[in-house]
Amino acid sequence: MVKSRGGVVFRTVDDRVEYLIVKSSRGNYYGLPKGRVDGNESETQTARREILEETNYFVKFEVNFKEKVEFVLPEGEDKEMILFLAKAIKESSGEIDDEITEVIWCSYQEAMKLLSFDDFKDVLKKANDYINNNQLTFIESRCGILCTQCEYRESMNCQMCINIDNPFWGTCKVKECCENKKLEHCGQCKEFPCQLLESFAYDKGQGDDGKRIKQCRMWSK
Ligand code: SF4
Ligand code: SF4
């Protein structure tokens, strides 16, 4: 089984929603950014890496949107594609994958015309309906901190907990533990809230009086 992960990436410009479509030289088609699972990656780790490699955008994922598409490749192998809803937060200065020849921001209608396969169109339609009908809830960290509200994000040029391997201040045991368990955030853990997380949340100097634990509970609802 070939496993591929990626996302419907969007941004808002003056209240208009725009979607990111990529053109691949392999097969010469317009699609959504995605690619194969590498080693022991979790689903969103692959999606995040592939989106960054194919579009140069760091993203944050909407907690409750995940679409699975299954089909058989022309060579006869089964393929499973999982696509998340992801909001673009910042462009990276890196290089885009050679196999991507175009990265296009466009409206929903333009994207529906461009996409080469019905499977992609179905997922884009579901994502667009989801954006229009729901209050979006993005996971920003493993421990529940809202990185978008962090005073160090700009000054330390941090791409947020979910987009980095290690924080600027060293290695985070909570992040490491959560990612080793292949969880999106600690609220999904059977041991939540564990002693380690509590010690972070209620630390006298660095803690937030349990605010991050409450945030994880909200993400789990
Ligand atoms: S404390 Fe650790 S888990 Fe929480 S946001 Fe920072 S790096 Fe991520
Ligand atoms: S709640 Fe504790 S044990 Fe569970 S993933 Fe988070 S840090 Fe690890």
Residue 84 has pLDDT above 90, yes or no: yes
In whole angstroms, what is the distance from residue 192 CA to residue 196 CA? 10
Q: What is the DSSP letter of 44?
A: H
Tell me what the pLDDT averaged over the chain comes to. 92
Instruction: State whether 36 and 87 are in the same domain.
Output: yes
User: Which amino acid is it at 20?
Assistant: L
% of the chain with per-residue pLDDT over 90: 66
For the chain, how long is the longest CA-to-CA vector? 59
Return the sign of the alpha-carbon dihedral for residues 56, 57, 63, 64.
Answer: negative
177 lines ligand 2 (CB under 6 A): yes
Instruction: State whether 186 and 109 are in the same domain.
Output: no
Residue 138: band (very low, low, confident or very high) from pLDDT cuts 50, 70, 90: confident
Residue 9: band (very low, low, confident or very high) from pLDDT cuts 50, 70, 90: very high
Instruction: State whether 126 and 193 are in the same domain.
Output: no
Cβ–Cβ < 8 Å for 65, 84 = yes
101-110 pLDDT per residue, tens: 999 999 999 9
Residue 149: band (very low, low, confident or very high) from pLDDT cuts 50, 70, 90: confident
Last residue of one domain, picked from the residues 113, 133, 153:
133
Instruction: State whether 121 and 145 are in the same domain.
Output: no
Instruction: State whether 95 and 172 are in the same domain.
Output: no
- Range(s) of the domain holding residue 194: 141-220
Last residue of one domain, picked from the residues 90, 117, 133:
133
User: For the chain, how many residues are written?
Assistant: 221
Instruction: State whether 215 and 118 are in the same domain.
Output: no
Is the model more confident about 28 or about 88?
88
Instruction: State whether 93 and 38 are in the same domain.
Output: yes
Q: What are the tokens at 64? A: 């409750």
pLDDT score recorded for residue 129: 96
The mean pLDDT value for 8-26 works out to: 93
The mean pLDDT value for 128-142 works out to: 90
For 89, phi then psi, to 5°, come to -115, -30
Instruction: State whether 113 and 148 are in the same domain.
Output: no
Residue 58 has pLDDT above 80, yes or no: yes
User: Which pTM was predicted?
Assistant: 0.81
Measure 195 CA to ligand 1 centroid, in angstroms.
Answer: 15
pLDDT score recorded for residue 198: 97
pLDDT score recorded for residue 104: 96
Last residue of one domain, picked from the residues 107, 133, 159:
133
In whole angstroms, what is the distance from residue 117 CA to residue 151 CA? 43
Number of domains in the chain: 2
| Closest ligand to Cα 175 | 1
CATH number (domain holding residue 126): 3.90.79.10
Residue 191: band (very low, low, confident or very high) from pLDDT cuts 50, 70, 90: very high
Instruction: State whether 112 and 66 are in the same domain.
Output: yes
Instruction: State whether 66 and 148 are in the same domain.
Output: no
Pocket test for ligand 2, best of 143, 174, 200 (most atoms within 8 A of CB): 174
Measure 154 CA to ligand 1 centroid, in angstroms.
Answer: 16
Return the sign of the alpha-carbon dihedral for residues 214, 132, 9, 153.
Answer: negative
Q: What are the tokens at 140? A: 């920003």
Residue 159 has pLDDT above 90, yes or no: no
User: What are the strands, taking DSSP E only, across 99-196?
Assistant: 100-106, 138-139
Nearest CA to ligand 2 atom 5: 178
% of the chain with per-residue pLDDT over 70: 100
Question: Of all atoms in ligand 1, which is nearest to the CA of residue 142?
Answer: 3
Instruction: State whether 166 and 104 are in the same domain.
Output: no
pLDDT score recorded for residue 148: 83
Instruction: State whether 12 and 45 are in the same domain.
Output: yes
| Closest ligand to Cα 217 | 2
